Amino acid sequence: MGLWAKSVVIIKAIREHGKQSIRSLAERTGLSKSSVHRHLQTRERRDRHPESSLWETEAGRAWLIRLIVATLLVFGLKRGVGAETLSEFFGRLRLDSHVGCSPSALRTMLHMRERLLLETAAVWEKEGIAHGEIRPVIGAVDETFLQRMMLVFMDLATGYVLMEEVAADRSFDTWFNRANARLTTLGTEVLYMVSDRAKALIKLAHIGLGCPSIPDLFHLGHDLATGYALCIFGRLRQAKRDLEQAKQRLEKLQKSPQADPAQGAQARVAACATSVNHWQEVGSAWRQHLSNVSRILHPWRLADSIRQTSKEAEEQLHAELLAIETLLATNELPMKQDTLDKVRKQLAGISALVDLWWQTVRPDLTQLAMTPRWTQWAEDVLLPLMYWQEQLHRTRCPGEKAQITLVLQTVAGVFERHPCTRQLTPEVLAGWKAWAAEHARAFQRASSAVEGRNGYLSQMQHNHRGLPTRRYQVWAVLHNFDCRAADGTTPAARFFRRSFPDLFESVLSQIDELPLPRQRRQALAASN
């Protein structure tokens, strides 16, 4: 029986039977008289606050353990709050008379929690591999430079971090050996990979993993934005400065009795105002073209939800790029031909995603032995509904969100009125929607998720100013098994297609003792 448990037993006996002699308490609890005596003395020393008695009860002790463990997990491990700050926090709650809350004690507890998290996740992943239904991976790979270089490999459809490892380099051999070993352990394969156009990552997809390599839409748009945004909006800022100066000069001249100079100044103000309006229109057109590049790449056209092919998407992307070039030339902006050529070379590769996605959907429909009528319903009614719902959830741009909302309303109306929809029972229809939603999530145009993950790692690295390798592994576990989406699922649940227990509650159930304050620990140890 631990020290905490002994104390609770003694206090419970007192509460149930009233004040008793040490001999009587020893008989009731099965403890030695000296042990009872020491525990009672220790209780008197720590019973300094109105709430102190709460922590002596079984329920209070359980809640105190939950408070300490939750704080260490949420703030210590997830948010990078240091042990010194946490020690101050617990001290201000006056818990230091009941729990060892020194920075060193908290660090020890953090290390123990890390070990439990890693052990629990390892068991669950083995169970997922053995009894789950692992989907093919839609991979996103990238490296991030922290104290050490990290290689990050994520499944975009589920958000599951497959690999987050320290590496000496980012060569093809390093990437392939690490990624292939991980995929072999999981017993799955990669459907396609989305990445920036690093040569090692392209080779990893084509040669190493034998799958298509899709250019990242995020980086493509970023290349265009950084290539010309500063130039365009620099002209706009200069036009606004010129307008402000012209207005100030006009104001000064208007106070003068000379009229003719004032008329010239008025003309200057009008010319500057025209220039500001012009560059505002150029900037607006520029933003619209960038937005159009993003809105084109879908299995259905955003305007009317009609199916499209990779060729059709590529033609639209080329048209937008040509419109951008025309805009630049018309306004005598410098042509950054390297940037334009780089983007143009990626249009075919990124457009290939449309046909690739359809090639994964149609065999699935064939296996379901569907008639042409039901196949058409699935392709033109059900899938667009679930796809636009998924895109509406992902999109943060207000303009694009509004456009998706409009097309979704139209598609939803068609879905509700369709005869095939009306023939299905609610249970069967729910199954079809789940199937379509899974395919909708498999259309991944950008590696933004892995970029966001890298940003989180960078922030945590900064907070901690250097960490052992195990802490990175813990963060991956917390992401996979404790990060929950709006529907309550974790990346691990989505990846393995099975539920897992709550990670925090599982770790908490394995903890029944907390470190004692030094004085209390020494006193109770002497009694035993």
The domain spans of the chain are 3-125+514-527, 133-216+447-497, 217-355
- Determine the 3-state secondary structure of 320 from DSSP: helix
Q: Would the pLDDT of 219 be above 90?
A: no
pLDDT for the residue 452: 79
State pLDDT tens for residues 388-403: 999 999 888 888 899 9
Q: Which residues contact 381 (CB under 8 A, 6 or more apart)?
A: 411, 414, 415, 418, 420, 421
Alpha carbons 301 and 407: distance in angstroms, whole number: 10
DSSP-based helix, strand, coil % in the chain, nearest 5:
70, 5, 25
Locate all alpha helices (DSSP H) within 132-216, ordered by sequence: 172-186, 199-203
Alpha carbons 218 and 290: distance in angstroms, whole number: 11
Higher per-residue confidence, 360 vs 513: 360
How far is the CA of 445 from the CAs of 215, 220, 226, in angstroms? 8, 11, 20
Quickly state the pLDDT bin for 337 (edges 50, 70, 90). Answer: confident
Q: Which fold has domain 133-216+447-497?
A: Nucleotidyltransferase; domain 5 (3.30.420)
Alpha carbons 229 and 233: distance in angstroms, whole number: 6
- The CB-side HSE value for 207 (13 A sphere, CA atoms) comes to 11
- Token match 């393995």: residue? 496
Phi, psi of 285 (to 5 degrees): -65, -40
Quickly state the pLDDT bin for 98 (edges 50, 70, 90). Answer: confident
Q: Strand 137-145 vs strand 161-167: parallel, antiparallel, or unpaired?
A: unpaired
Residues recorded for the chain: 528
Q: Would the pLDDT of 490 be above 90?
A: yes
Alpha carbons 314 and 151: distance in angstroms, whole number: 32
Q: Which residues contact 171 (CB under 8 A, 6 or more apart)?
A: 200
Across 257-285, average pLDDT = 84
State pLDDT tens for residues 300-320: 999 999 999 999 999 999 999
